[in-house]
Structure 1
Amino acid sequence: MGTESRLTKGRAAIDDGLRGVGAKDQTIAYLVREAHRALSADLQARIAQYGVNAGMWRFLRVLWEEDAISQRDLSDRVGMTAATTVLALDRMEREALVLRVRDGKDRRVARVHLTAKGRRLREKLLPHAAEVDAVACTGLAPAEVALLKTLLTRMRVNVGTYGALAQRKPAAPRRRRPPAG
C-alpha cells in the first residue's frame, strides 16, 4: 500500500473514530488522556518481548540519561510514589536491569545503577518508542509535529504553574506530641 493510500485510510479511521465521540469528550484533558492510553498500549505491545513493562520503561528512560541517581530523585523524576518506585526497582533488580547501592557519603541514600543488561536495552527499546511516535504522527507535517510538542510542553508547564495542585498551600508541619508518661 502506498503512502498516499495509507494516509487516506488513516484519515478515514480518524474521522470514523471522531464520529462516536461526544462533545463532552472533546476536552483537551480527555483527548490527551486517550492519546496517552493509545500510545502507551502501542509501546507496551512493542517492548513486552524484552520483559519490560510501561512502569519499568519510565525508570529506564531516566537512568539512561543519568545513571547512579538516588532512588528518591528517580521517583521524583518519573512522577511515581516512593512505594511504587520500590516495587518497580525490586522487579528490575530481579530482572538484573538495575542494582541499588548505598551511597558512600550518606548510608540513608540508595543510588540506582543500571547493569550492563539495563544499558543494552537502550538500543533495543528506543527504536520502538520512535516507531510509536512515527505511527502517532502519520499524516502530520514536520512543522505540525514541532508545534504539537511545543503546545504540549507549554500546557504541562501551565498546569504545573497555575493548576490546582500548584495553587495549594503547603501543609503546616505536624506538631509532635510530648511523650506519654
Structure 2
Amino acid sequence: MTAGENPLALEHQVCFALAVAARTVIALYRPVLEPMGLTHPQYLVMLALWEHEPVSVKDLSRMLQLEPATLSPLLKRLEVAGLLRRDRSATDERALAVALTPKGRALRDQALEVPPAIVERLGMDVDELMDLHGRLTRVIAAATGVEKSTA
C-alpha cells in the first residue's frame, strides 16, 4: 500500500479477505457434505472424532476451538443422527465422553472423498493449499498470542 492509498479501503483489509474466503470455501463443502447428511461444523466434529475418539466434550471443544455452548447442539444433532454417543466418563462422572457409533465410524470411508473433491472445486495446486494452510495457522497463532514453531 502506498502512502496515498486509503488505509481503510475495504480491499486492503485482511479481515475482509479472510471473511470472504472462509464463507466461499465453506460454501464449496455444502454440496459435497450434503449426501453424507453433514453440515460443515458437524464435519469438523466428525474429523476430530475420527482422529481422537473417545474424547471428552471439554477436549473436543478445545480441539475445535468452539465454546461448549456452541459444540453441545452439534453433538446432540450428530447423536440423534446415530453417528455418535455421549456417555458419562468412566474415570470422571462429571465429564461427558464422546465416542463414535459404528455408523459414525463407517461414514469415514465416504468422508475420504471430501478433501480431493474440495481441491478439485478450488482448482488450486495441493502445494499451494498446504502453503496457505501454514500461513493461516501462523495468522491464527499470532491472533491468539500462541507461539508456534515455523519449522
TM-score range, shorter chain: 0.7 to 0.9
For 2:67, give the aligned amino acid: T
Distance (whole Å) between structure 2 residues aligned to residue 128 and residue 56 of structure 1: 14
1:49 paired to 2:28: no
Secondary structure, counterpart of 1:96 in structure 2:
coil
In the alignment, structure 1 residue 58 sits paired with structure 2 residue 57: no
Normalised by the length of structure 1, the TM-score is 0.69
Residues 38-86 of structure 1, C-alpha deviations (whole Å, 9 max, x = no match): 1111102211122111221111010011001001111121122212222
Partner of 2:10: 24
Which residue matches 2:131? 147
Q: For residues 86 and 52 of structure 1, what CA distance do their matches in structure 2 show?
A: 16
Task: Map 1:30-179; keep pairs closer than 5 Å.
Answer: 30-136=16-122, 138=123, 140-141=124-125, 143-161=127-145
Pair 56,27 (structure 1): closer, same or farther in 2 beyond 3 Å: same
* Structure 1: runs of 5 or more not aligned: 1-22, 163-181
CA-based RMSD of the aligned residues comes to 2.0
Tell me if structure 1 keeps the 8 A contact 2:32–2:117: no
Number of aligned residue pairs: give it.
139
Structure 1 residue 148 displacement after superposition: 2.1
Q: Please tell me whether the aligned partners of residues 89 and 97 of structure 2 are also in contact (alpha carbons under 8 angstroms).
A: yes
AA aligned opposite 1:83: A
Q: Which runs of 5+ in 2 are unaligned?
A: 1-8, 147-151
Sequence identity (%): 26
On the 8 A contact 1:43/1:129 being kept in 2, the answer is no
Larger Rg: 1
**Alpha-carbon distance in 2 for matches of 1:141, 1:46:** 19
Runs of 4+ in 1 over 6 A off after TM superposition: none
